[in-house]
């Protein structure tokens, strides 16, 4: 049961603002400002709003914490407030877990310290290096702040890391190892070295005078993804725990699947078979059928090969009975290790609020990506089963299954129609 959501994204960090932007659709992609590290290196980028470090960590820790941890802390604070849960009062700290993942961890911290080493030698490197860049530091900081004393972990599976964290939450609750899990993903991907690596790999969108047009999943004119930063955190708990404290649920997390392409380090298997297997396994674990799926939030990065591989997997799994499909990366760009959690949040909100966001910039669908695309405007539909897909370098695939909240109280968006609907 998802009872809390927090996000830090290029379209804002308030849940309703975030979802309204996806539905409008309203792009968060910009040309890098002149004073930004990405300026002159890439043409479009998704920059998350600044988070005041002092609002989420102590003044001492603010000097040490990397941006990936600061964004995760902000999202976790918002999710915990949204859930209305007090750890130590509403739930036993030993029965509470935290799984907050990342693809690369504190690359910005490591880069700064590498420069310090080159300029000043050994003594120039901070003794707090590891407290800044280790991938588990977001989970550790959240655990310390909230007194979470149960299971904690950080799963590093590149762009599927956030989705893997959410799957781990369901595993922990299903195995009766936790009653509540704070989970999600985060990535501060806009460091010079990381940007240069993607740029030189020719993975990024180029040639767009208007940066808002650069990310175009499944579109015939796509030519790469747009790098973004951000994170998302969910509070997931047992439904009886939520009911006991009168909490309202957004949705139930009912199943998950994970597969590996076993094909190439950075290229997806173009046949899409592992993507299809992943969704099949996820639906089986949820006890749901393909025919019941009413929305699929695709990984859809806007890369030529990746979009084709995923589309083929969806075609294999659903045949002629495809659910409505969209990728929200047309609005946010690709948040790497944070993407799976942010897109799971989008899927949950689509199910809870009864609005399915479109794929932004999908003007002429690639015939090799023939799907039941949501284009132009959001659809007013309330699916009974929704899927969120993630894939990653290394061939990692994750599918998450969400269904309507089984708590006595449910979150709704009634009375606020900020999304355009068809």
Q: Which residues are catalytic?
A: 159, 299, 334
Q: Which of 189, 197, 187 is nearest to 154 (CA)?
A: 187
DSSP, collapsed to helix, strand or coil, labels residue 382 as coil
Length, in residues, of the chain: 422
Q: What is the DSSP code (8-state) at residue 58?
A: -
CA distance 6 to 71: 10
Q: DSSP H helical segments within 7-128, as ranges? A: 15-23, 59-62, 67-83, 107-120
The position carrying tokens 């499944």 is 218
CA distance 278 to 312: 13
- Comparing CA positions, the residue from 331, 293, 312, 288 lying closest to residue 397 is 312
DSSP string, 156-199: --GGGHHHHHHHHHHHHHHTTS-SEEEEEEEE----HHHHHHHH
- Distance between CA 230 and CA 14 in Å, rounded? 13
Q: Three-state DSSP class for 84?
A: coil
Residues 5 and 19: their CA atoms lie apart, in Å, by 12
123 Cβ neighbours under 8 A, 6+ residues apart: none
Query: Which residue from 286, 395, 379 is spatially nearest to 23, judged by alpha carbons?
Result: 379
For the chain, how big is the Rg over CA atoms in Å?
Answer: 20
158, 396 contact by CB (below 8 A)? yes
Q: Which structure tokens are listed for 260? A: 């590996």
């Amino acid at each position: 049961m998802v009872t809390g959501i927090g996000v830090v994204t290029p379209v804002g960090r308030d849940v309703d603002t975030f979802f309204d932007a996806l539905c409008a659709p309203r792009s968060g992609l910009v040309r890098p400002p002149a004073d930004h590290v990405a300026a002159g290196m890439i043409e479009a980028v998704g920059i998350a709003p600044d988070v005041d470090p002092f609002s989420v960590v102590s003044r001492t820790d603010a000097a040490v914490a990397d941006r990936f941890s600061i964004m995760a802390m902000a999202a976790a604070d918002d999710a915990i407030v949204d859930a209305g849960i007090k750890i130590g009062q509403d739930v036993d700290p030993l029965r509470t877990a935290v799984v907050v993942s990342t693809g690369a961890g504190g690359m910005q911290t490591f880069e700064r310290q590498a420069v310090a080493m080159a300029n000043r030698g050994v003594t120039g490197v901070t003794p707090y290096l590891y407290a800044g860049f280790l991938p588990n530091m977001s989970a550790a900081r959240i655990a310390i702040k909230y007194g979470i004393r149960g299971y904690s972990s950080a799963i590093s599976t590149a762009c599927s890391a956030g989705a893997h964290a959410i799957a781990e939450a369901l595993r922990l609750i299903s195995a009766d190892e936790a009653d509540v899990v704070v989970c999600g993903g985060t990535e501060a991907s806009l460091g010079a070295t990381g940007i240069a690596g993607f740029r030189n790999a020719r993975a990024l969108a180029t040639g767009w005078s208007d940066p808002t047009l650069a990310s175009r999943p499944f579109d015939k004119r796509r030519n790469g993804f747009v790098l973004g930063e951000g994170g998302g955190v969910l509070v997931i708990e047992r439904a009886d725990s939520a009911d006991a404290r009168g909490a309202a649920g957004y949705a139930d997390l009912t199943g998950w699947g994970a597969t590996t392409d076993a094909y190439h380090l950075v290229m997806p298997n173009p046949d899409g078979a592992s993507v299809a297997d992943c969704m099949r396994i996820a639906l089986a674990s949820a006890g749901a059928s393909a025919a019941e799926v009413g929305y699929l939030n695709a990984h859809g990065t806007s890369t030529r090969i990746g979009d084709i591989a995923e589309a083929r997997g969806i075609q294999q799994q659903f045949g002629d009975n495809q659910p409505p499909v969209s990728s929200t990366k047309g609005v946010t760009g690709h948040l790497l290790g944070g993407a799976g959690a942010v897109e799971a949040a989008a899927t949950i909100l689509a199910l809870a609020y009864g609005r399915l966001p479109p794929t932004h910039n999908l003007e002429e669908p690639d015939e090799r990506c023939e799907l039941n695309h949501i284009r132009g405007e959001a659809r007013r539909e309330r699916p009974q089963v929704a899927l969120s897909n993630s894939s990653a370098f290394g061939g990692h695939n994750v599918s998450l299954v969400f269904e309507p909240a089984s708590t006595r109280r449910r979150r709704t968006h009634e009375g606020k129609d900020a999304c355009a609907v068809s």
